Amino acid sequence: MIEIFSRSCRRLRRDRSATRFARVADLFVHAADELAGRLAESGRAFDRALDLGCRDGRLGRRLPAETVIALDCGYRFALIARGAQADEDRLPFGDAVFDLIASVGALHTVNDLPGALIQLRRALRPGGRFVAVLPGGEELTPLRRALFEAEELLFGGVHARTHPMLDPREAPSLLQRAGFANPVVDVEPLRLRYRDLFALIADLRAGGETNVLTDRAPRFTRALAAASAARFADLGDEDGRVTVEASLIYLTADAPAG
């Protein structure tokens, strides 16, 4: 299978993110709180949970479970959360280990999302629950447009520098094909405002969300950065800020009861 995302780059980006994560932690906490709230509303108590893509463990501390195992593809985050280091689509666990698997912002850059979901379903006990949040839809349009126009101007062609995203309309069938039951998918729109391109890039770096594509584009040179920043600024409103629309896709599903 051709791997779209570089595993070594994913780990490197996540390790670098560990020193900057406070910059974007509020958004991560918002998603984690939303997941924890939904689990609390279900009234279920869980014995053993997996915090998948744990970062610094903020999600795991919110999960209603007796035992929480943390896992992250980045060594530094795994160390901070006192968990295991492994890729999210190469789980170091057997079948029927957990009755809850929760994930915030970790599954959108795995190389084989259908295969990863199958692994997660197998790692759940019968009747276990899977909940996750992924960025998705048409993300970061002003950034994509600025990069496209700047590269076209400088090089006469464009390169892939942003990641493909999950279409929320495809998520229910994706969960069902992986063997999950009772899939529920909903989308929370976000509107973020940035004073310039470099503030947006700083947030992406803090979250470990810069380019991890295997097919690497040419370096983001100073000339390209300046041209991209100028095009980004052209999209600003009367306050000089650019509105960036994004979305969070919430997934909930259950392992069949058996």
Cα separation values, 116 from 76, 127, 138, 149, Å: 22, 18, 23, 35
DSSP 250: E
Give the pLDDT confidence of 104-118 residue by residue, as tens digits. 999 999 999 999 999
Over range 192-215, report the average pLDDT: 91
Over range 44-62, report the average pLDDT: 95
Q: For residue 203, count CB atoms less than 10 angstroms from its CB and return exposed for 0-12, middle for 13-18, buried for 19 or more.
A: middle
* Crossing angle between the packed helical segments 197-206 and 222-233, to the nearest 10 degrees: 110
Give the pLDDT confidence of 9-43 residue by residue, as tens digits. 999 999 999 999 999 999 999 999 999 999 998 88
- The domains of the chain, with CATH numbers, are 7-139+163-191+246-254 (3.40.50.150)
- CA distance linking residue 127 with residue 87, whole number of Å: 25
* Range from 92-101, 136-145, 226-235 carrying the lowest mean pLDDT: 136-145
Q: Are strands 242-254 and 124-135 parallel, antiparallel or unpaired?
A: antiparallel
